[in-house]
Each structure stands twice: as C-alpha cells, then as structure tokens.
Amino acid sequence: MKIVYFGTPDFAVESLDAIMQSRHQVCAVVTVPDRQAGRGQKVVFSPVKEYALEHHLPLLQPEKLRDEEFLNELAAYKADMFVVVAFRMLPEAVWNMPPHGTFNLHASLLPRYRGAAPINHAIINGDNETGVTTFLLNHHIDEGQILLQERTPISPNDNAGTLHDRLATIGRTLVVRTLDGIEENTITPMPQQGTPTAAPKIFKDDCYINFNLSCYQAVDFVRGLSPYPAALLTLVSPQGEEVLFKIFDVTAIPDPSATPRELICDQKKVLKIGVTDGFLQILSLQMSGKRKNNTEDFLRGNKLIGWKLAR
C-alpha cells in the first residue's frame, strides 16, 4: 500500500523506519514546521523530518492542516492509507481522505490513558502492564475503533524513558502488522471496551512532588516523569534563596516515624525527604544550573545543611 506518514518526535521515527523496511511504500511524510529553540534561536528540525531528509522522502510541513494548498498536495499522492504516530489532531478533511482511512499508533491499551501523556500516567498510577494500540481515527481524540493491540509488563525498574523506548520498538512491529492486515482484509475494527481513563498533557506545575503521597506512590511519580520532564522540588537555602531541583531516581524507605516534608541530609551520601509513611531517598538529581549527578557525588560538592523544602 501507498502510505503518507504523519509524525514528529523520536517515538514516531521507529514506526516510520519499520514501514520503510516493509513491503509498503511511504510516498510522503508530514511533520511540524521548523521551530527556533535555545538561547541562539537556532532552527530545529523534528526527528521525523531528519529521518525523511536522510531517506530522501517527500516532506510536507503545513502550518494549518485545513489549508487548501496542503490538502490538494496531500490528495495528489493518492495514498491508500495515512498512518499517524505522535502527531496532532487531524481534521476530517485529512483523516477521511484515503480509501482505507487513517490509523494512529497510541502508547497505551485503549481506552486506558486517552491523551497526550499515556506513558507517564501509566507509571505514575502504579500500573503493572501497558501496551500499544492501533486504531482508526474519527472525530474524537483516541476514541476510534481498535485494530490491533500489543501488551507489555511495566517492571519496578522501568521509568518513562525505558518504557518509551520499549513501546516504540513494540509499536513499530504493530504498525506494519496493522498495514499488512488491512491490505489482506484480516483485521476487523472493534469498538473500544472498558472504562476510559485520561492521560492529559503534563505541565511544569504538575511535576512537583506531593509529600502527602505514600513513599511507594512517590517513587512511581518520580519514575513516571524520569528522565523527562522530571519530578521537581524546590529547596530554600539558609540565605533564603529558592533553588529548583530535578529528581530522576529515588527509592522508598517505609518508616512510620517519618514526617512529611522533613529533609534529612547526612552530607555524605544520603538525602531523603519525608512523606506520609516513610522517606523518599533521592539517588539521582540535578540542581538548577548544574549537571545531573548521583546523590553521593552531588553531596561531595554541595552543602545542604540548613536547607529546607519550599513546596
């Protein structure tokens, strides 16, 4: 089949590469317009654009998906199907264009975790299983009929980064299986079954550690945000300066005598914070303006005696 592929981040590169290696033909790639980033406002390409350029694929970067010129150019490719991985919501004029429709790869077992951050929320909520789903697009976000699903366990050692990479690998295989099945007419779309749950986009204010959680819930929260966007806490120095910290790796220490928001630092290798039923021992962190480090190395060069939690 002839495919137009829609995607933006690294997660989407895996599935694009898989289609390129399959019997199907990628006739064009659609990704976001170039953006300026960093202090120098350097123009940055999306990972999908970089892949498309390396493989000499026709590339579309519309500002507006309803733009008539873009729609005409898209229609000219006469694709059999559109495939969407980590892009943005498409208007009906786009997803209803190809004869076989448009399907999306989503990083959850729909209807669980509809939304922008399914990987993060699955870990934050302490789930022990997740997966990927291919489904047909319709007028509602992540609510279309399911084509195929693949499951994978979430281990206690997983964080958002490791799970992201594993789901991208599983997803690349599922995308090609879905294309094969549609071409061979061996897949029957099925309505989503079960109670939907949401996975909304995560903003900076959502990343601050809640010290009213249990120690194991707090560990899941940190895992679910590591390495990006990273759990946050703010400490106040004895001089009253507020300093932001990113927290990447922690362990739970149950202790009924712990006091929420209690900060303990022995200045050798232990830094821990009280929650409702124990302590959150910090193993890896990054102080604002500094590089990421393990706690023992960090404490060798940074004195935290007299510091307190700000929030």
Q: What is the mean pLDDT of each run of 10 residues along the chain (311 residues)?
A: 97 98 98 83 91 97 96 97 96 97 98 98 98 97 97 97 98 98 97 96 97 96 98 94 96 94 84 95 94 92 85 64
CA angle in degrees (0–180, nearest 5) for 144-146-149? 140
pLDDT of amino acid 266: 79
pLDDT of residue 192: 97
At 108, the amino acid letter reads: S
pLDDT at position 267, please?
64
Phi, psi (deg, nearest 5) at residue 25 = -110, 125
Cβ-proximal residues to 308 (8 Å cutoff; 6+ apart), any chain: 235, 236, 263
- Short-list 160, 119, 146, 276, CA closest to 212: 276
Q: Which residue has the tokens 């604002």?
A: 288
pLDDT at 43: 85
Round to whole Å and give the CA distance between 221 and 226: 9
**pLDDT value of position 41:** 74
Amino acid making up residue 139: H
**What is the Cα–Cα distance from 182 to 227, expressed in whole angstroms?**
36
